[in-house]
Structure 1
Amino acid sequence: MRIPATVPDTGTVPVTLEPVRQKILMDNDTGIDDSLGLLYLLASPEAEIVGIASTAGNVPAPQVAANNLALLDLVRAPELEVAQGALTPLAIPLRTTEDTHGPRGVGYAELPPTTRPLSDRSAAQLWVDLAREHPGEIVGLCTGPLTNLALALRMEPRLPQLLRRLVIMGGAFNHPGNTTPTNEWNVHVDPEAAKEVFDAFSTAPADRRPVVCALDITETIEMKPKHLTLLAERAGSTPVEHVSENDPPQARSAASNPLVRYLTDAIRFYFDFHKLYDQGYLAHMHDPFAAAVALDPSLAVTKPATVDVELAGTLTRAATVADWAGMWGREPNADIVIGTDPELFFERLVERVGEYARTVFAEGDSSR
């Protein structure tokens, strides 16, 4: 995706400019949709991933880190720093969700073993060090519980001023929860951390408030089997498989492209999970959407609000509450996404990840 420069017609060959690259620190709990969010970044020429922080959530933190390293290996990515986060939330035992993401967090897929090393520094230290080294340059992208970021804020309270922007996948406002009737998974895992983060960003300038991609919007980002077909076609993978709700659980992709094979096996598990809970044979792509917003905020229509997290409610603990009207008398500390164009998002996802799969694996190369 090279952007032609506008130059006078002098008979010379037009110059092409590389897109301006955006430094991204991704904090995830990989996770099927987290993995697709990471792939979206890897496939985007305007993204420069400066680090990956692995947080406990969908699966334990060591498994998350292993998934991140193995996924980088699968796609032959350059060396990227992957740091492991805290093993438990700030104040409560860890709850994981292998029923949603599979025993290793990647559905039916199997990632290859990897010898890539884990960072010597913790995920929280990674946040702090990178923000200090690149003040005003880094976009933080959180697609899991906010434990690592909360710990980083305790170490460096100036993070809201040091980061260029923060994008969070989490919360539910005018929408039912997906874990309890009132709360969303990432906040549910570590509500104390979520509250610390939102409280800390009450001091952020208006142009650096967190952009919050909550269930209100992310559950409209519905991936369906047709999108997997389009990805395979864009990648030039054969055979072009058509995933169906009638496929048995033991079915595995025979795609020639290793990345398409991984995505098919991982996402089919996600389809099966959503169907089990009467949501249709589809998968909500929460995290890739947040990744897309991190790179292009114009994908999201936002509305400022003051966000807090309920910690004491018997029925509502971990609920995210938004004061849209200023009733609390506190300045907004978040910009909540209230609208988007899912079709445009999926066009970008298919184009970028499909072309990335084609480029990484030359035709006929299924050696990994």
Structure 2
Amino acid sequence: MAKKIIIDTDPGIDDILALLLALSAKPEEVEILLISLTFGNIEVENCLRNVVSMFHILERETQWRRENGLPEGFGAMRASRPIVAVGAKDPLEDQKMLADYFHGTDGLGGIHASHPHLTPSHEWAHLFDPVRDSHGIETVNTGARDGDQSFVPSKLPAHKEILRALRENEPDSVTLVAVGPLTNLALAAAEDPETFLRVKEVVVMGGAVNEPGNVTPMGEFNAYADAFAAARIYALTSPNPNSTLPPSTISQLPAYPANLSKQLTLRLFSLDITLRHNISRGQFRTAVTPLLEKGSPLAEWVNAFMGHTFRTLERLHPGHVGDDAQLSLHDPVCVWYALTADDPRWAPAPNSPEDIRIETLGQWTRGMCVVDRRNRHRIEGEEESSNDHGHWLSARAGNRIYRMDQSPNESDFGQVIIDKLFG
């Protein structure tokens, strides 16, 4: 039976590669119920343009392959059109930070200006306009969707579409892959925590435990971009979620009910594992050059933004030069797990589940993954200790995060991406 997944994303270069990886799967492997969009790498409006452009290119690629007698691929896309919904424009409480310094202001290295023939017109934009009543007030109690593209545009906010998908499917049958800031997830969980907990598991790209951060010395981008949202989602893994909730001064999202029906299963793909999954410029160039010569629209599109990416890596990171430049495939690793989770070679860290918490208030440590490295006795049962500040030792408190540490394709993941997208 096909795995059912939701992808919450902020496309973004590696996000697009992750989406292409999911869409390239066979229909019997996966059904993509929803692509929900959030701010993050870029503004959410640009995220939407990039997703629509991706589907536009895939339609052209399918036609090109058909005309050239090649297997069409992208069976998951053709078997069932994913819903696309626009979500959070801003973080819950933090000042917004974007990653356009790496991805470009449009998220794909300026491709819409440099390659305008690869970008669809804006005629699709109205398909996502919220429904308004006669007084101009936005309404959200409608599921109106239209369009004849290879996706289904939604007029509902993304967090409501997440809840809809979870209500309409059996409990523990949908995996939610979150590869951007966790704002949409936090809004969904705050609105209806029991419906949110119908999810089978949440797969999160974020955080850094034993590696340095990538936007500050301690902070990985997704955790940093909305630390409050990340902390609220991590808290749902706790036997007592309110024991690890961050203080809230602006968003005023409510505390969780005292007696939730279950704990969230959260698989964390931190920088500790994603930095070990890479594709080199030489590897990519060797694969894509023959396809460019033959006229593949997908090869032209991906080559344009990957060229920008490798040039940016050369500028930002010493040693990333020429064909040896390596792009870490952070987000595609999470999608690959969702597609192949039954492979026994996937494994969490030996001490999982771990009590990992996200720092929300630190001047220098926002987005930091905090773990307790002290050698202290756990406090079992109902006992509490006055010196257990933050409930780090209590068996009735603290988060329970499965930090993933081993994968089946660490050494050849770049080739996996090439084969799935272009093979």
TM-score exceeds 0.5? yes
| 1:167 partner letter | V
CA distance, structure 2, for counterparts of residue 307 and residue 206 of structure 1: 19
Unaligned runs of 5+ in 1: 1-19, 240-254, 356-368
Structure 1 residue 266 and structure 2 residue 327: aligned? no
From the superposition, tell whether residues 83 and 102 of structure 1 become closer, same or farther in structure 2 (CA, over 3 Å): same
Q: Is the 8 A contact 2:8 2:37 kept in 1?
A: yes
Structure 1 residue 328 and structure 2 residue 364: aligned? no
Per the alignment, residue 296 of structure 1 pairs with: 340
Alignment of 1:1-368 (within 5 A): 20-45=1-26, 46-76=29-59, 77-78=77-78, 79-110=81-112, 111-114=118-121, 115-116=123-124, 117-118=127-128, 119-134=154-169, 135-159=171-195, 161-203=197-239, 209-232=265-288, 237-239=291-293, 256-279=295-318, 280=320, 281-297=325-341, 298=343, 300-303=346-349, 304=352, 305-323=354-372, 328-329=393-394, 330=397, 332-340=399-407, 341-355=409-423
Q: Is the 8 A contact 1:37 1:287 kept in 2?
A: yes
Runs of 4+ in 1 over 6 A off after TM superposition: 204-207
Deviation at 1:346, TM superposition (A): 2.7
- So what's the TM-score if we normalise by structure 1? 0.81
From the superposition, tell whether residues 43 and 207 of structure 1 become closer, same or farther in structure 2 (CA, over 3 Å): farther
SS of match in other structure, 2:6: strand
Unaligned runs of 5+ in 2: 60-76, 113-117, 129-153, 240-259, 379-391
Deviations 1:134-170 (A, max 9, x none): 1221110111000000000011112453011211000
SS of match in other structure, 2:197: helix
SS of match in other structure, 2:237: helix
Deviation at 1:267, TM superposition (A): 1.3
Deviation at 1:192, TM superposition (A): 0.4
Q: Is the 8 A contact 2:6 2:176 kept in 1?
A: yes
More moved, 155-164 vs 79-88: 155-164
More moved, 28-37 vs 97-106: 97-106
Deviations 1:262-307 (A, max 9, x none): 1111112111222212251221110111110111133532122112
| 1:73 partner letter | H
SS of match in other structure, 2:193: coil
Deviations 1:81-129 (A, max 9, x none): 1111121100123211211001210124334125443311101001111
From the superposition, tell whether residues 133 and 60 of structure 1 become closer, same or farther in structure 2 (CA, over 3 Å): same
| 1:68 partner letter | V
CA distance, structure 1, for counterparts of residue 264 and residue 346 of structure 2: 15
| 2:227 partner letter | P
More moved, 113-122 vs 96-105: 113-122
SS of match in other structure, 2:355: strand
Q: Is the 8 A contact 1:292 1:345 kept in 2?
A: no
| 1:169 partner letter | M
- So what's the TM-score if we normalise by structure 2? 0.70
| 1:33 partner letter | D
Per the alignment, residue 135 of structure 2 pairs with: none
Deviation at 1:231, TM superposition (A): 3.8
From the superposition, tell whether residues 122 and 352 of structure 1 become closer, same or farther in structure 2 (CA, over 3 Å): same
| 2:39 partner letter | A
| 1:113 partner letter | P
| 1:142 partner letter | A
Please, what is the CA RMSD of the aligned residues?
A: 2.3
CA distance, structure 1, for counterparts of residue 160 and residue 16 of structure 2: 23
From the superposition, tell whether residues 94 and 348 of structure 1 become closer, same or farther in structure 2 (CA, over 3 Å): same
More moved, 296-305 vs 204-213: 204-213
CA distance, structure 1, for counterparts of residue 412 and residue 398 of structure 2: 32
CA distance, structure 1, for counterparts of residue 33 and residue 414 of structure 2: 25
From the superposition, tell whether residues 306 and 199 of structure 1 become closer, same or farther in structure 2 (CA, over 3 Å): same
